[in-house]
Amino acid sequence: MDFKPRDVPALRVQRSLPLRLRRTPGEGRSGSGVGEVEWVRIRRCSRQPIAPRAAPIPVVLPWVWVLGNPELIVRTHGVHRVKVLTFFNHAGGVAKTSTVRDVGYVLGELGKRVLLVDVDPQANLTKWLGVEDDVELEDTIYPGVITSAADEADGIEPALALPAPRRVHGVDLLPSHLNLAILEREILSVFMGVMRLREAVRTLEGYDYVLIDPPPSLGQLSALAVVAADRVIVPLPTNRKGLDGLPTVMRMVREYRKAAPALDIALFVLTQHDRRTRHDRESREVIERQLTSVAPVSTPLNSRPAYYSDAQVQGMPVSVYAPGSEADLEVRQVTAELLEALEGPLR
C-alpha cells in the first residue's frame, strides 16, 4: 500500500520532501488505512535496507535529508485495528442473528479473521452455528464484563478477560448461554459497566472483524453490545414492522453515541424481502428513499424460509448449507456491500 506523506501524521511537516512511502505487506497490525507511526525502516532501493533498520520516526528523518529520495517503509499501528460491528435492531425477528451468522461466515471465507460474539441469552447464533450443549457461563462474554466474586472479596484489581473462543465454520465464536441474562441486572451495579465489552474487545488481537449479535431489546445487554461497536449494521425487514421500528433504532443509536461518540451506522441490510408482494416492494422504496442519506442501503436478502430454517436446523450458515444457491449469492453480495461501506470500493 502506498502512502502519501500527508497520510502519516508524523510526516505531514515533511510534505515537501520527495518521499516514497510504503507499508510492508503483512507488517501492519490489522485493518487498513493510515494511523500513528510505530516505526520506520529506510532504504535507498528495494532490496537494500539502510540503517537504521527500524526506528522511531524522529531518528529516521535526518536520514531522509541525507539520502535525498529514499523509500520509507512505515509500520503503523492503531490503523489496521479490528473493526467491531454490532447488528442492532431492538425489534425481534428481523434477521439480526441470521445476518451475523451468514455475513460472518462469508467474511471468514474471504480470508478475514472474524470473531462472532453472541450477546443474546437466547443463544440462537451459538445454536445455529452448531454449538449446542457444552457451553458454560464462563465461555461467554461474562468473564470479560463482570469481575469474579473471589477477586472482589480479595480486593484484587479486576482481571477481566474474554474467554478463548471456539472455532466453527472457519470463524471464531464467543457463545452465549441462557444464564447470560443475569448480566442485565449485574451490570447495573458496575461503575461504567456498559463500557466493559467495548474495553474487552479492544484488547483482542488477531482479528479483522468482530461481529456482535445483541438480543431484541433496549436493555443493558443491547447497550453493552452497541456501545462496544465502531459501526452499527441495521438489519431491516422490508415491511411495516421494519418501517415502524426505524425511529427507535435511530433514536437509540443517538443515545448510545453518548457513550461511544464515534458510533455510526455503516449499512442498513434489507432482510426477509418478499419481492412478490407490493407491500414489500413499496416498503423497500420508502426505506431507500428515507435512509440513503443516513447510510448505504443493501440489496435485499430475499425471504427464503426453506433455506433459512433448514440451515438453522443443520447448524450451518446458509452459504455452507446451500452453496451456489440464490440465498448464498445474496449473502455474498451483501457482504461485499458491507466491505465497501467499511473499506471503500474493492480494488
Q: Is 68 in the site for ligand ATP (CB under 6 A)?
A: no
202: which 3 cell numbers? 479492544
SS3 for the chain, per residue? Answer: CEECHHHCHHHHHHCCCCCEEECCCCCCCCCCCCCEEEEEEEECCCCCEEEEEEECHHHHHHHHHHHCCCEEEEEEECCCCCEEEEECCCCCCCCHHHHHHHHHHHHHHCCCCEEEEECCCCCHHHHHCCCCCCCCHHHCCHHHHCCCHHHHHHCCCCCCCCCCCEEECCEEEECCCHHHHHHHHHHHHCCCHHHHHHHHHCCCCCCCEEEEECCCCCCHHHHHHHHCCCEEEEEEECCHHHHHHHHHHHHHHHHHCCCCCCCEEEEEEEECECCCCHHHHHHHHHHHHHHCCCCCECCCCECCHHHHHHHHHHCCCHHHHCCCCHHHHHHHHHHHHHHHHHHCCCC
| Identity of the residue, 30 or 98, whose beta carbon is nearer to ligand ATP in the bound complex | 98
Instruction: Select the binding partner of residue 140 from Mg ion, ligand ATP, none (C-beta < 5 to 8 A, by kind).
Output: none
Write down the least CB distance from residue 118 to Mg ion, Å.
9
In the complex, which residue's CB is closest to ligand ATP?
216
Q: Is 96 in the site for ligand ATP (CB under 6 A)?
A: yes
Q: Is 283 in the site for ligand ATP (CB under 6 A)?
A: no
Within 144-203, the residues that bind ligand ATP by CB under 6 A are none
Contact segment (CB under 5 A) with Mg ion among 89-97, 111-119, 149-157, 200-208 equals 89-97
Q: Is 216 in the site for ligand ATP (CB under 6 A)?
A: yes
Q: Is 319 in the site for Mg ion (CB under 5 A)?
A: no
| Identity of the residue, 120 or 208, whose beta carbon is nearer to Mg ion in the bound complex | 120
Q: Which of 25, 305, 324, 345 binds ligand ATP (CB under 6 A)?
A: 305
| Identity of the residue, 19 or 221, whose beta carbon is nearer to Mg ion in the bound complex | 221
Q: Which of 96, 196, 231, 284 binds Mg ion (CB under 5 A)?
A: 96
Q: Which of 30, 76, 86, 97 binds Mg ion (CB under 5 A)?
A: 97
Write down the least CB distance from residue 93 to Mg ion, Å.
8
134: which 3 cell numbers? 457444552
| Identity of the residue, 68 or 324, whose beta carbon is nearer to ligand ATP in the bound complex | 324
In the complex, which residue's CB is closest to Mg ion?
97
Q: Is 226 in the site for ligand ATP (CB under 6 A)?
A: no
| Identity of the residue, 76 or 97, whose beta carbon is nearer to Mg ion in the bound complex | 97
Size of the site for ligand ATP (CB under 6 A): 19
What number of other Cβ atoms are within 10 A of residue 212's Cβ?
29
Cβ atoms of 249 and 88 within 8 Å: the answer is: yes
Q: Which of 18, 78, 92, 206 binds ligand ATP (CB under 6 A)?
A: 92
Instruction: Select the binding partner of residue 263 from Mg ion, ligand ATP, none (C-beta < 5 to 8 A, by kind).
Output: none
Write down the least CB distance from residue 124 to ligand ATP, Å.
5
> How far apart (Å, rounded) are the C-alpha atoms in residues 124 and 176?
8
Q: Is 99 in the site for Mg ion (CB under 5 A)?
A: no
Q: Residues 287, 290, 291, 292: is their CA dihedral positive or negative?
A: positive
Q: Which of 56, 78, 93, 323 binds ligand ATP (CB under 6 A)?
A: 93
Interface with ligand ATP by CB under 6 A: which residues?
Answer: 92-98, 120, 124, 216, 271-272, 301, 303-305, 308-309, 312
